């Protein structure tokens, strides 16, 4: 009998009335909540809108659960089908009883994220880098659901942290097993902190931080998967190829792909969109040219009017209106008729005055002639008045008498 061990829970389901509360589902939900909370904070710190990650997480979780379950059923089909099946085939749909393949969850969940990003006009790579640490932490929390279900454990061990598994779940009395769920939980926890540090230290963008998460997870999954056993009917039924389990080969392929992507995007510096397309369009109209014009032809209504006035001035500079007149003409239209009538009356009075000027000029000329021809007359006021009253005939008679 070992001196120390990790006991497995006696039950993984509790009932609230007639509603079952399953520990496995609870761990998954807690992991998702923490991942969304952390990712939302990181997204807003990067300049994104509040609530974006929450909206994207809905299709991501739905697609992820479907993909994870499909991968589990396909790769562990002996659990539900065949002569050694320990569960009826219809229980392949009972996702709450455990069994989610991370590869399928990430792959199909990524499709949900891509659809949401495409709808909003966001960069998928920016979202992926933001959620990478949160996914690692969510996996660390979710793995404890395997502990409640007494599943995904490793081979026999004598280590003091060996895990007890009852016979109903494939264990043997007095035998301890590697707690691979605990190994992976600790690995994912450390990976999450490493991603947070790397993201701040190196400012990884364009999906490179997510690629680092994939590489880090697959590296740990490879050696943890090598410790696992999946007993069905007392026999390990895991699919192997060249002495490696299927999930180990998957880890190798995905690990290499992540490294290739990480290296290929090392010099990528194109813009990543973290605001929805509608928000970018609304904020860019004021600063960008009119789409119907070229960059050198963009103008406003005031610019068009100014160009028109300038063109008229160049074409006919002599006819250019006086600025004050233009200013007056642009006044209140109700005032213009009265001002026009006033101007017309002033013009008429000016014309009458002009007509009277010639008559006054003629009288003045005749007076000057008479005074010039009568030098001997007194220059007083009475003489001037008398000279002005003389007729032309009297002037001629006076000239004859003087001869």
Tens digit of pLDDT for each residue in 274-295? 888 777 777 644 333 333 333 3
Integer Cα distance of 218 and 188 in angstroms: 10
Give the confidence band of 140 by pLDDT, cuts at 50, 70, 90. very high
Residues linked to residue 240 through DSSP beta bridges, in sequence order: 245
Q: In this structure, are residues 122 and 55 in contact, taking their beta carbons and an 8 Å threshold?
A: no
Q: Cβ atoms within 10 A of the Cβ of 95, count?
A: 18
**Helix 102-120 vs helix 246-264: angle between axes, to the nearest 10 degrees?**
40
Integer Cα distance of 68 and 139 in angstroms: 13
Buried b / exposed e across 351-371, counting CB within 10 Å, b at 16+?
Answer: eeeeeeeeeeeeeeeeeeebe
Q: In this structure, are residues 130 and 43 in contact, taking their beta carbons and an 8 Å threshold?
A: yes
For residues 89-103, average pLDDT: 80
143 is in an annotated binding site: yes
Integer Cα distance of 30 and 142 in angstroms: 8
Cα 235 from chain centre: 53
- pLDDT(326) > 50: no
What does pTM read for this prediction? 0.66
Q: In this structure, are residues 91 and 97 in contact, taking their beta carbons and an 8 Å threshold?
A: yes
- Residue with more model confidence, 8 or 367: 8
Q: Cβ atoms within 10 A of the Cβ of 17, count?
A: 5
- Locus of tokens 């974006």: 52
pLDDT in tens, 24-64: 889 999 999 999 999 999 999 999 999 999 999 999 999 99
Q: Cβ atoms within 10 A of the Cβ of 31, count?
A: 22
Integer Cα distance of 169 and 79 in angstroms: 12
For residues 347-364, average pLDDT: 49
Residue 30 CB contacts under 8 Å (≥ 6 apart), including other chains: 141, 142
Q: Cβ atoms within 10 A of the Cβ of 144, count?
A: 20
Provide the pLDDT for residue 95. 78
End-to-end CA distance of the chain: 176
Measured at the alpha carbon of residue 234, what is the angle toward residues 233 and 236, in degrees to the nearest 5? 100
pLDDT in tens, 227-243: 998 665 455 566 778 88
φ, ψ for residue 12 (rounded to 5)? Answer: -125, 10
Integer Cα distance of 138 and 65 in angstroms: 14
- Locus of tokens 């660390």: 140
């Amino acid at each position: 009998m070992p001196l120390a061990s990790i006991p497995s829970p006696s039950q993984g389901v509790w009932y609230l009335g007639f509603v079952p509360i399953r520990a496995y589902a609870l761990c998954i939900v807690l992991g998702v909540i923490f991942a969304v909370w952390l990712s939302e904070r990181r997204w807003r710190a990067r300049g994104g809108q509040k609530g974006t990650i929450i909206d994207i997480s809905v299709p991501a979780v739905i697609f992820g659960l479907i993909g994870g379950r499909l991968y589990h059923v396909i790769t562990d089909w002996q659990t539900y089908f065949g002569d050694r099946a320990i569960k009826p085939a219809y229980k392949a749909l009972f996702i709450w009883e455990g069994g989610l393949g991370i590869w399928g969850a990430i792959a199909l969940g990524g499709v949900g994220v891509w659809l949401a990003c495409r709808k909003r006009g966001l960069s998928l790579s920016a979202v992926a880098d933001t959620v990478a640490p949160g996914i690692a932490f969510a996996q660390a929390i979710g793995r404890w659901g395997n502990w409640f279900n007494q599943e995904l454990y490793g081979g026999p061990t004598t280590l003091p942290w060996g895990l007890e598994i009852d016979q109903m779940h494939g264990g043997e009395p007095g035998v301890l097993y590697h707690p691979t769920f605990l190994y992976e939980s600790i690995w994912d926890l450390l990976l999450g902190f490493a991603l947070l540090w790397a993201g701040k230290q190196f400012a990884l963008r364009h999906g490179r931080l997510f690629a680092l998460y994939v590489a880090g997870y697959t590296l740990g999954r490879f050696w943890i998967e090598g410790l696992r056993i999946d007993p069905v009917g007392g026999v390990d039924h895991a699919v192997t190829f060249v002495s490696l389990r299927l999930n180990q080969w998957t880890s190798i392929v995905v690990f290499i792909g992540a490294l290739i992507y990480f290296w290929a995007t090392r010099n990528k510096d194109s813009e990543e969109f973290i605001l929805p397309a509608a928000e970018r369009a609304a904020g860019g109209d004021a600063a960008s040219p009119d789409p119907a014009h070229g960059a050198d032809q963009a103008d406003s209504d005031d610019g068009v009017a100014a160009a028109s006035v300038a063109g008229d001035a160049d074409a006919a500079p002599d006819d250019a209106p006086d600025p004050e007149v233009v200013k007056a003409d642009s006044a209140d239209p109700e005032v213009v008729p009265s001002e026009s009538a006033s101007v017309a009356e002033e013009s008429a009075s000016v014309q009458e005055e002009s007509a009277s000027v010639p008559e006054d000029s003629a009288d003045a000329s005749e007076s000057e002639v008479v005074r010039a021809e009568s030098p001997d007359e007194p220059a007083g006021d009475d003489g001037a008045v008398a000279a002005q009253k003389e007729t032309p005939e009297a002037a001629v008679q006076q000239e004859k008498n003087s001869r």
